[in-house]
Structure 1
C-alpha cells in the first residue's frame, strides 16, 4: 500500500529548496565578490562601492547619463572619446588611480591603465591568464565557445588551427582576392559621383562592411559576399541584440524566455543553420578543393579530440562565427575612422594618394607595393591609436596570480583600457589627441616611450591572429579609394563614438566624394 506524502512535508521540502537557492544566490552574487574585493583592498587596490546584484553598474549608468545630459558632441570633432564613452572610468581613475577595482553584477573587475602592469600582463604566457568570462553568457549566442571567448585547452586548440592560415605568406596570396572584392564598391561609388554631378554624399559604413565581409568570404571560406550575405546581416542583428548585458543570466547562468531572449535564440539558430549549409555546399566544389581555405583547416580539425562540450557541428559554427565577426566588423569600422580622419586632414590624404600612385606604377596594389606604402601604414597606425576598435583587453585569472606586486585572486577579470593608454600624454606627448601619423615614422618603438601601451590588436600571447591580414586589407582598400576619389567630410557628419561591443561611429560616417586626379581601373590602367 502506497503511503501519501503529507502536504506539510512537501511544503517544507519546497521551502528548504527555495531557501537553499536564495543562500546560494546570495553567496555567488554578494559574499564571494565582496570577499575578493576585500582581499584586493587589503593590498591597496580601492574602488567605487558595490550594490547587491548590481555591483557598480548603476553608478556607471548615472555617470554616463550625466555625460550625455551635458550635451552631444555635435559637429565638432574631438578625438579624445574616453570621457564621452567611459565617463565612469575617467571619474574612478581620478579618485582611485590607474589600477582600481569595481563590480559588474557578481563579476569583480580590476581596471588597469598603469604601464608597468600592462607590461607584466603582456609578457605573461601562462594559460592561467585566460579570456574574461564576464558577459560570456550574454555574448554566448554570438561567440559560442570560439577563440574570442575561450580559454585554456579550447583556446590553445583553436589557435593552432587558425594561426597558420594568417601567416604572412598566406596573406600575401590573398591580396589579389582583396583587390577583386574592392571593384564593385569602387564602381558603385563612382556611379553615385557621376549621377550627383561630380560630388556625392555617401554614408560609407555599410558599404565597407559588405567589402570586408566579401574579403572574409573569399579568402577564408572559398565563397563570396552574395553567398554569405544573410549570415553577415544576421550576425549584425545578433551583435545589436546582445550588446546590452543580461545581469541575471551572468549571475545565475539562467535565461528567462523573454521576447528579446527568443529573438536572440532565433537569430543564433538561423546563423548556425546558414553556416552549416555554407559548409556543406562548399565541400566538394571546384573552388573549395582547389584552394586551401581556412574552412578546410576547420573541417579537418572538427573530428579531432575536441574539448568538452564541443561537438563537430558546434565547433565549426563557433569558429566560423568568431572569424566572420572579428574579420569583418573591426576592419570595416577602422576603415570608416581612417576615411573620416583623411577627410579632415587633406594634406595627409594627398600625401598617401601620391605614395600609392608612385608605388603601384599603373597597376592595382600587390603584396610588394603594399610593403612600400609607409605613409598609409602610419595613417592606419595613428587611426588605431586614436580609435582602437576594442574598448579594452579583457583577461581573467584562472588561478591566483601576481601582477604589480599584488596577489590577484582566482576569478578576477582584468580590463586593460586601450583608450586610456592610447590617449595618455605622459606616454605619447602633449599632442596626444591630435592626428599626427608622423609619430609612427620609426614604427611603434619610436612613437612612444612604452610600446607595450599600444594595443589595438590586443596584448600578449592572445594578440589578434589576424592583425597582418587586417593591415593588408586596410591598405588595399584605402589605397584604391584614394587613387579614385578625393574625400572630404560631409556637413551632416555627427561625431559621436559609441560602444557596441566595439567602438564605432554612432551615426555612421558620411563623406563627400569626387573623382581624384589620379585614377586606376580594374584593368590596371590609370585614367
Structure 2
C-alpha cells in the first residue's frame, strides 16, 4: 500500500517543486546578472540588466527610451543583460574605424534574414571577401559612368510633379523619392528596372511590403528561436500565418526570381551592354582569391539587402530635405537662387559633379541625411579580445557595444540647443566648422562597415533634389503633412514614419489662384 502513497505524493507535489525550481532559477539569474555579471558596474536600471523583455516592452520605440536612460545615467548605459550603449562621439570612431576588429553582433543582424549578404555578415574576415567583390560596382567612378540612370529617374519625378500641377492635384513625393532609389538600384543590380515611377501607385505596394518586414525583424531580434521556425514556413502559407512574415518570404521569393533571371540571361548569352551588380558577382574573374560564386539562395540575401536598403533610407532623406525646403520660404528661396545662378537653363540636366559643388544645396542634403537618421537605432558590435574600456568601464570580450545615429545627429554640444531644427546654414561655415559637424554625422555608418551604396545615394540626392527645385523655382507647397509627422519615427532598423500617418504621406502641390 505504500507504493501508491509515494506516487500520490509525487503527483501532489510535482508542480509546486517545479514552480519553486523555476522561481529559484529566475531569482538566481537576476541576482547574478545584476550584482555579479562582468557588466554589473555599468550604470543603468535594474530591469534591462536582468532581462531582454525590458527592450521588448518598448518595441520599436526603444531608441527613445535608451536616450532617456542616457539622460539619467550618463554616457554609458547597460541596455540589455549583455549590451552597453554609448553616446561619446569618440567611441564611435574607436569601434567603427577602418580595419576595426569589432564584428557585427549576429544576435541582432541575423534577424534581418540576410546572413549570406555583405551587410548581414558578422565575422570581419568573411565580410572583407564579400565587400571586396561588391566595392567595384559602387565606386564613385562606376556611379559617374551610370549617372544617366539617375538623371532619367529625376526627370520622371519632375514630370510627375508637372502632371500634378496641371491636374491641380497633390503629388506623392514620399513614394516618388523612394521609387527613384528602387528604380535605380533594380536597374543597377539586375539590369531590369522596376519602373515604379511609371506606375500609377509609384510602387506603393512594394514599399508597403518593405515597410511590413519591420515588425518581423523586431520579433526575430527579441526571440531568435522563432526565426528558424518561421522561415521554414512555405512561402504560400506565410501570409496566412502572419502578414509581416508573408512580406519577408515574399521579398525573398522576389529576390530569387531576380537572381534566376540574371543567371538565365548569362546562360543564354544575352548582352545587357554593361555589367550589373549580379552579373559581376556571378563572374569568377577579378575576384578576391577566397571568393566563391554564391548559390541562388545565398545571392538572394544580397539582392534582398540592396532592395530593402534602397526602399527607405535615401528616399527618406530626400523626403525630409524636400519637406523642410517647402516648409520654410527662406530656405526655398536661397536654394533656388543658388541653383539658378549655377544652371541658367531651366530644363537642362544638372550634372552630379557640378551639383555637389553648391554649398547651400549641400547643406540641404546634409540636413536631410542628419534628420532622417538612416538607421535610427543602435548598431551592435562585439567587443574583441582581450576586451576594451569605455568611459572608465572595462567591457570583456564578447560584450555587445552599440551607438546610434539618433543620438549622434542630435548632440546639442555639436548641433546647438535645437538640434531638430533644419538649418542648411550649419554647413556653409568654415572648413573647420564643417569638419566638427561631420565628426557626428553617421547616416551611412563609418569605417569598414560603412554602407557600400553611399556614392550612389549621394548621386541620387543631389541630382533628384537639385533637378526638382531648379525645375520648380517657386510655388510648391506642402500638402497637409505636418512637422510632427515628419519627426515621428519607428525603429525597424531603417527609420519609418508610423502607419498612422500614411494618409498624410509627404505630398507637394501648387495652390491655384482664384
Q: TM-score, normalised by structure 1?
A: 0.76
Contact 1:48 1:92 (C-alpha < 8 Å) held by counterparts: no
Shift of 1:430: 3.1
Question: Runs of 5+ in structure 2 lacking a partner?
Answer: 1-13, 198-202
The answer for the alignment partner of 1:333 in structure 2 is 316
The answer for the alignment partner of 1:513 in structure 2 is 509
User: Equivalents in 2 of 1:52, 1:452: separation in Å?
Assistant: 34
The answer for the alignment partner of 2:359 in structure 1 is 374
Aligned length: 463
Shift of 1:154: 2.5
User: Equivalents in 1 of 2:272, 2:335: separation in Å?
Assistant: 39
- C-alpha spacing 1:51/1:460, structure 2 compared with 1 (3 Å): closer
Match of 1:433 among 411, 416, 420: 420
Q: How does 1:86-101 map to 2 (within 5 A)?
A: 86-101=63-78
- C-alpha spacing 1:38/1:212, structure 2 compared with 1 (3 Å): same
User: Equivalents in 1 of 2:373, 2:144: separation in Å?
Assistant: 25
SS in structure 2 at match of 1:101: strand
SS in structure 2 at match of 1:100: strand
- C-alpha spacing 1:505/1:353, structure 2 compared with 1 (3 Å): farther
Contact 2:382 2:398 (C-alpha < 8 Å) held by counterparts: yes
The answer for the alignment partner of 1:181 in structure 2 is 153
Contact 2:321 2:364 (C-alpha < 8 Å) held by counterparts: yes
Residues 169-203 of structure 1: CA distance to partner in whole angstroms, max 9, x if unpaired? 1111222211112233322221121111xxx3233
Shift of 1:504: 3.0
SS in structure 1 at match of 2:465: helix
The answer for the alignment partner of 2:459 in structure 1 is 472
The answer for the alignment partner of 2:400 in structure 1 is 413
Residues 428-473 of structure 1: CA distance to partner in whole angstroms, max 9, x if unpaired? 2334332211111247852364643221111222122222211111
SS in structure 2 at match of 1:187: helix
User: Equivalents in 2 of 1:158, 1:367: separation in Å?
Assistant: 28
Mapped pair 1:147 → 2:109: no
Shift of 1:47: 4.3
Match of 1:161 among 103, 127, 133: 133
- C-alpha spacing 1:373/1:328, structure 2 compared with 1 (3 Å): farther
Contact 1:132 1:414 (C-alpha < 8 Å) held by counterparts: no
Q: How does 1:206-355 map to 2 (within 5 A)?
A: 206-226=175-195, 232=206, 236=210, 239-246=213-220, 249-250=223-224, 254-255=228-229, 259-260=241-242, 263=246, 266-283=249-266, 288-300=271-283, 311-355=294-338
- C-alpha spacing 1:353/1:30, structure 2 compared with 1 (3 Å): farther
User: Equivalents in 2 of 1:288, 1:37: separation in Å?
Assistant: 63
SS in structure 1 at match of 2:84: strand
The answer for the alignment partner of 1:402 in structure 2 is 388
SS in structure 1 at match of 2:246: helix
Shift of 1:353: 2.1
SS in structure 2 at match of 1:110: strand
Q: TM-score, normalised by structure 2?
A: 0.78
- C-alpha spacing 1:148/1:166, structure 2 compared with 1 (3 Å): same
Shift of 1:132: 2.4
Match of 1:384 among 357, 369, 376: 369
Residues 105-151 of structure 1: CA distance to partner in whole angstroms, max 9, x if unpaired? xx622111112322322336233x111223334321xx342122212
Any runs of at least 4 consecutive aligned residues in structure 1 with deviations exceeding 6 A, and if so which?
A: 227-231, 284-287, 302-308
User: Equivalents in 2 of 1:92, 1:53: separation in Å?
Assistant: 16
User: Equivalents in 2 of 1:290, 1:32: separation in Å?
Assistant: 65
User: Equivalents in 1 of 2:195, 2:356: separation in Å?
Assistant: 30
Contact 2:374 2:443 (C-alpha < 8 Å) held by counterparts: yes
